[in-house]
Structures are given as structure tokens and as C-alpha cells.
Chains A and B, each alone.
Chain A
Amino acid sequence: KQEVTQIPAALSVPEGENLVLNCSFTDSAIYNLQWFRQDPGKGLTSLLLIQSSQREQTSGRLNASLDKSSGRSTLYIAASQPGDSATYLCAFSGGSYIPTFGRGTSLIVHP
């Protein structure tokens, strides 16, 4: 069974720091990997999607990379802001196209 692990589980940083969130998966047959943000009591908002043929995707201060050989994706957040505080989840989809989610990284950025 596919397993998706996110490290760290929680992170608290001062405003302005550059952050790296990690997502690892066990299945090498990847279709795509998607990063989401979830605010408390809300649904999931899609941030970035990386297809298996891609190495990275960028949107504003966010950059997601994919390393299939090591079974890892990283989400890089530049110059963090208090508004970035949320839980960040990654979802792996393999050959079956069925997504498996990690437990998320809870991020707090304090002023």
C-alpha cells in the first residue's frame, strides 16, 4: 500500500524565513504529486501540481520539486509571511490515479 509521509509534522518560524516542507512516497510509479493548503475549518486549496515528467513547478513565492529516484517532493516557501500559516498537505497519485494524502505539516509563521 502506498504510504506518504510529511516531515516535519509541525513548524513554527518567524516571519521572513525561507521554509522547506518535505513529502516522501514509497511507490516509484508516480502519475502526479499535488500540494495543497488547508486553513482551519476550511477545505483544501490546490497550490501546485507536478506531473511525473516534470521536475518542479513555481507559483509566486512557492516552488515544488519532484525527485522520483528518491521518492521525495519538497515545497519551498520563500520569505514566509503570517498569512502563510496553515496546514500543507501533499497527495501522491500513482498508476491507479487514486490519490494518497500525507498527514500534513502544520505551519505557524509569527510576526
Chain B
Amino acid sequence: DAGVIQSPRHEVTEMGQEVTLRCKPISGHNSLFWYRQTMMRGLELLIYFNNNVPIDDSGMPEDRFSAKMPNASFSTLKIQPSEPRDSAVYFCASSLSSYEQYFGPGTRLTVT
């Protein structure tokens, strides 16, 4: 298996622009997690899907952030409008029934 796939790997955008991050989980996995990692706050869970349904989005910072999982093989995390404080590495991870998590390589987002 190719593992968890994320795109793009790097994104540089200007403040106010819309940013869309994409994730393809491991085939057969039914749980998907979006995380954000910064030096200041470490690794934070943003949202958790199980069987394509959002279970916990309490980590989503504010209404500028939204996530969708239209099917078992694809998820997006959107930031609109983006702000410099959103600069971070965003990780997607998947697992089978919340068992062992496998992480993607991450998307490094820079908002200027």
C-alpha cells in the first residue's frame, strides 16, 4: 500500500486566500484524523472522522476552518480566509477502527 497520501506537500499563499489540503487514507481504513503541528503548540487534533462522518471537530480553531470527507478514500481541509497564524504543518492520519494510526508526510503551509 502507498500509505497515507497528502497534497500538496508545500503551500505558500497570501493572507486572505483560500487554502485546500487533501488527503487520501490507506485503503480499508475507516478512521481519519487531521492534525496541525507547530513549535508552540505541538501536535493538535483538529477533526476526527469515522466511517466518513465527523465525530469530533472540537479542535477546529474557528469557522475559517472546515473539513469534509465525501467518501472513504478522500478528505479535504479548507481554510478560508487564511491568516499568517495558520502557518504550520498539517498532517492527515488514518486507522482501522481507531486502532494503529498511520500518518501522511504532511503539508507545510506558509501564509504571508
Contact = CB atoms under 8 A, between A and B. Distances in A.
Given A43-B91, A43-B106, A44-B91, A34 B100 contact: yes
A101 B104 contact: no
A58 interface: no
Interface in A39-70: 42-46, 49
Contact of B42 (A93, A98, A103): A103
A98 B103 contact: no
B43 A101 contact: yes
Interface residues of B, number: 20
Contacts of A45: 103
A43 B101 contact: no
B19 interface: no
A45 B93 CA distance: 11
B42 A104 contact: yes
B51 to A, nearest CB: 12
Contacts of A101: 42-43, 45
Contacts of A100: 45
A75 interface: no
Interface residues of A, number: 22
Contacts of B104: 43
B20 to A, nearest CB: 19
Contacts of B42: 101-104
Given A44-B91, A89-B43, A98-B48, A34 B105 contact: no
A36 B106 CA distance: 15
Interface of B: 31, 33, 42-43, 45, 48, 50, 55-56, 91, 93, 98-106
Interface of A: 31-32, 34, 36, 42-46, 49, 89, 91, 93, 96-104
